[in-house]
Structure 1
Amino acid sequence: MAEKKRPRVVIVGGGFGGLAVAKALKGDDVDLTLVDRSNHHLFQPLLYQVAMAGLSPAEIAAPIRAILKHQTNCRVLLGEVTRVELGNKRLHLDHGDSLSYDYLVVAAGAKTNFFGNDPWARHALGLKSLDDAVEIRRRVLLAFEAAERESDLDARRRLLTFVVIGGGPTGVEMAGGLAELSRFVLADDFREIAGKEPRVVLIEATERLLPGLDDKLADAAAKQLQDLDVELKLSTRVTDISEHGVKLGDDWLRASTVVWSAGVCARSLANRLGCETGRGGRVKVNPDCSVPDHPEVSVIGDMAYFVPDGSEQPLPGVAQVAMQQGRFVARQIRRDLQGKPRETFEYFDKGMMATIGRSRAVAQSG
């Protein structure tokens, strides 16, 4: 009698969600394959620290193979998914290989969203990868180098103006980090630049910062940023971005460096699944995180548009959601193999925090 094949579980994405699935199935009688477009797991909450030269890239990135080194039922493949055949339970990779699966978990994350203004990407930097963080750091340092030798006051003012667009946690942390770096670290190293010359501007389209936090905490964050001399422009929409800076209404704010943290959307793999999507291109999923008509396919984390029972808003694209969904989906796969009914995912909110510089922060418990 031929040996029975073990169920094949393919995980797309080595972020918080994908790794949570793999680790949760470590002791199960399944064959796991984790596919990622890069060979490292990135601790994204600390990306801004790399951009601000507080951490090196190696301190927030770990090889996926090293993380799963002792997990004998899991292999890791470097590649990007180009096509998914839901009917045939097969996905295709950019280097020509294909993988068959019994269960597929899609946790490929998100990318920067310019909301239809794709040309802005040439002049504004996102913060979703190590390359983004290193490029932000490079531009800030080069701006100081150029300003050190610039005698024209207008040109110097533009070089030392840094704009952050988006008042969510990433934008608040970036603005606070930029203010501390430019005013209290770099200004001491560049003798021709006075401490008050660098200008950090945080732009938010709504009337307040940190929409996920209580009003009092949002006000506290604004006060802490202003204590660092960050200029806040609330209820202000960006209408254009160029190499000269950003346009606010009819007026231009000249700046050398623009960081975009105003939003993200699901990666293009979400569209390749051929499933219904919600805001931001996120795939609409069932209460058990599976996609309609395909219980063997689950989408989690930033790519999933999961609306909890009794709520009108989807869960946010944050690490704790992805990790909880990852462990949940692993449990549903196990229940399937045991012949047990599936459960409904319930999210436990542990709270949210935004750090502002090295010694300030706001936090809200769940």
Structure 2
Amino acid sequence: MGNGRPKVVIIGGGFGGLFCARRLGRLDVDVTLLDRAACHVFQPLLYQCATGTLSIGQISRSLREELAHHRNVTTLLGEAIRLDADARRVTARRPDETMFEIDYDYLVIAAGMRQSYFGKEEFAAWAPGMKTLDDALSIRRRVFAAFEIAETLPPGPERDEWLTFAVAGAGPTGVELAGQIRELATRALAKEFHSIEPEEARVLLFDGGDRVLKSFAPALTERATRELEKLGVEMHLGVHVSDVRRGGVTVSSKSGGPDKDYATRTVLWTAGVEAVPFARHAAEVLGAGTDRSGRIAVGADLSVAGHSTVFVIGDLAGRDGLPGVAENAMQGGLHVAACIKRDLDARNRKNFRYRDLGSAAYISRGHALLQAGPIKLTGIAGWLGWGFIHIAFLTGVRNRFSTVATWMASIARANRSDRTFILGGSGHPDEPYTWQSPVHQGREEPTETGRRDQNAG
């Protein structure tokens, strides 16, 4: 920009990157916010988009629009792929595969995490995660198409496969997804089909722990378990999903015993997270330590050791067991902006101190968990608290009003206002008519004969 002001580059437009950019918008610095999608996504409500309650526009907003009034903030579309720490330069890739470079004086890595399949990446073909808008739309297509396909089949095992839904991981996202699918089947879709009874849809929830929602107090998880059972969610704890394929999953008990197969055509994965590729590359370039998930070790002020002008915030910050929640990212973004301001004012930086403002999880209509210090709420009170928190942090006044109106309509009429899904309507070979995700379109599992041939080879 040629004006001599410090250049701050922020990688990622999630909660951490957005809050940092907003605060830096008040300082005498030039800010560049680089994001793969050029929009901020309210990830805690992705599952409501996936199950047809909310639209994409209600849980996301253009970063360019959000930051338009900050004249010193530039938003760029691209994916960070390479870091030159000596030259203080980031190389990014445009969607057309061409490259461009951005120089920085300060670098804020807020790239977030992606879904982890624990080394079994082939699972992704049949079990989409829940981290992006694309994931939410893929899950919406799978869930609603499953009911539609079942409607065309006669009673029997094949129809049952389409009416069985498996969710791996019983953290907040997994529990919310499982509850929403059962609620969808028993309320919104209950009277819309002629050949099938949507209420008979099975939802299987698998987790390696001894209870759901392990981050919440035991008393709250007990209430959540009872509510899930009331909804009809079948919980299988102390197990892990050891195989995922086109027609089902295999589950292994952590205490031993034989594996068990479940026939299902819809598998959803929420079981783990790992650092995005750029974060792992940056850690190597910076000589920073990482944990098993790829979180980058940072100092007390969230900067990387030996690189005082490089910060890591949000899910990627590996320090003192910082939780992978939105509030940590928001506070981290504000803290880094404060550190940069203190540098400009020639004052010492303060250490980052995370303040746990509580956690919330949606279970079903009229029932949610809210835990904030000594305050522990369930039922209607928890549900109202959950709604208030989520509305408060949605970006854009229009999104807040629209979301509240949609929630009120869904409560009154049990409908889902945004159930549209696309199966490839043009007939073009590049847009096949399928419920599958692009990651595995055109990839069919080998036949039994093919498997024997592969094994023989």
Q: Could you say whether these structures have the same fold, taking a TM-score greater than 0.5 normalized by the shorter chain as the test?
A: yes
Residues 116-171 of structure 1: CA distance to partner in whole angstroms, max 9, x if unpaired? 11111111010111111111111111111111121141111111000111010001
1:353 aligns with 2:367: no
How far 1:357 moved relative to its partner? 2.2
- Is residue 58 of structure 2 the alignment partner of residue 51 of structure 1? no
SS at match of 1:281: coil
In the alignment, structure 1 residue 122 sits paired with structure 2 residue 125: yes
Q: CA deviation at 1:187?
A: 2.6
Q: How many residues align?
A: 358
Q: Distance in 2 between matches of 1:305 and 1:46?
A: 25
2:10/2:34 contact within 8 Å kept: yes
Q: Which residue of structure 1 aligns with residue 319 of structure 2? A: 306
Distance 1:264 1:183 in 2: 31
Say whether 1:210 aligns with 2:213.
yes
CA distance in structure 2 between the partners assigned to 1:4 and 1:77 by the alignment: 20
Q: Describe the superposition over 1:230-265 as per-residue Cα deviations: whole angstroms up to 9, x where unpaired.
A: 001011121111111110132211111111001111
Shift of 1:355: 0.4
| Displacement after TM superposition at 1:42 (Å) | 0.4
Look up the match of 1:311.
Answer: none
SS in 2 for 1:97: strand
Query: Which residue pairs with 2:144 in the alignment?
Result: 141
Distance 2:218 2:70 in 1: 45
What's the counterpart of residue 292 of structure 2?
A: 279
Counterpart for residue 174 of structure 2:
171
Deviation track 1:204-242 (CA, whole Å, cap 9, x = no partner) reads: 111011111101111111111111010010111211111
1:197 to 196, 200, 212: 200
The answer to which of 319-328 and 261-270 deviates more is 261-270
Partner residue in 1 for 2:419 = none
- How far the C-alpha of 1:289 sits from its partner, in A, is 0.3
Amino acid paired to 2:367: R
Matches within 5 A, 1:237-256: 237-249=240-252, 250-256=259-265
- For 2:229, which of 210, 226, 231 is the aligned residue? 226
| Alignment match, 1:37 | 36
Match among 299, 302, 311 for residue 289 of structure 1? 302
Instruction: Output the CA distance in 1 between the equivalents of 2:348 and 2:8.
Output: 19
Find out whether 1:270 has 2:279 as its counterpart: yes
Structure 2 unaligned segments of length 5 or more: list them: 253-258, 374-457
- 2:165 and 2:185 map into 1 onto residues whose CA distance is 9
Matched, 1:365 2:372: yes
Letter of the structure 1 residue corresponding to residue 278 of structure 2: L
Q: How far, CA to CA, are the matches of 1:16 and 1:227 in structure 2?
A: 34
**Could you say which residue in structure 1 is the equivalent of 2:334?**
327
2:87 equivalent to 1:88? yes
Distance change in 2, residues 1:360/1:296 (3 Å): same
Counterpart among 104, 109, 133 of residue 101 in structure 1: 104
Amino acid at match of 1:315: L
Task: Tell me the distance in 2 between the aligned counterparts of 1:260 and 1:199.
Answer: 16
- 1:25-71: CA deviations, max 9, x gaps? 12211001100011111010000001110011111110000000100
How far is the alpha carbon of 1:196 from its aligned partner? 3.6
Contact 1:157 1:197 in 2 (8 A): no
- Alignment partner, residue 62 of structure 1: 61
User: Which 4+ stretches in 1 moved above 3 angstroms?
Assistant: none
- Give the Å deviation of 1:195: 4.5
Q: 1:338 aligns with which of 339, 345, 353?
A: 345
The percent identity for this pair of structures is: 44
Q: Aligned with 1:276: secondary structure?
A: coil
Alignment-derived partner of residue 186 in structure 1: 189
Secondary structure of the corresponding residue to residue 165 of structure 2: strand
State the AA in 2 paired with 1:197. E
Q: Secondary structure at the residue paired with 2:335? A: helix
Which residue of 2 is the match for residue 310 of structure 1? none
Taking the aligned partners of 1:193 and 1:292, their CA distance within structure 2 comes to: 60
Shift of 1:278: 1.2
Which one-letter code corresponds to 2:346 in the other structure?
G
Residue deviations 1:284-333 (CA, integer Å, cap 9, x gap): 111100011000000000111121xxxxxx11111100000000000000
Partner in structure 2 of residue 160 of structure 1: 163
Any idea what the Cα deviations from partners look like across 1:176-196, whole Å, max 9, x if unmatched? 101101222113211222254
Counterpart code for 1:300 = I
Q: Which runs of 5+ in 1 are unaligned?
A: 308-313
Q: Following the alignment from structure 2 to structure 1, what is the Cα–Cα distance between the partners of residues 345 and 191?
A: 64
Structure 1 Cα separation of the partners of residues 51 and 113 of structure 2? 22
Indicate if the aligned counterparts of 2:185 and 2:199 stay in contact, CA closer than 8 A.
no
Aligned residue type for 1:193:
I
Which stretch of structure 1 is more off in the superposition, 53-62 or 145-154? 145-154
The CA distance in 2 between the partners of 1:360 and 1:279, in whole Å, is 35
Once residues 4 and 151 of structure 1 are traced to their aligned partners in structure 2, the CA distance between those partners, rounded to angstroms, is 71
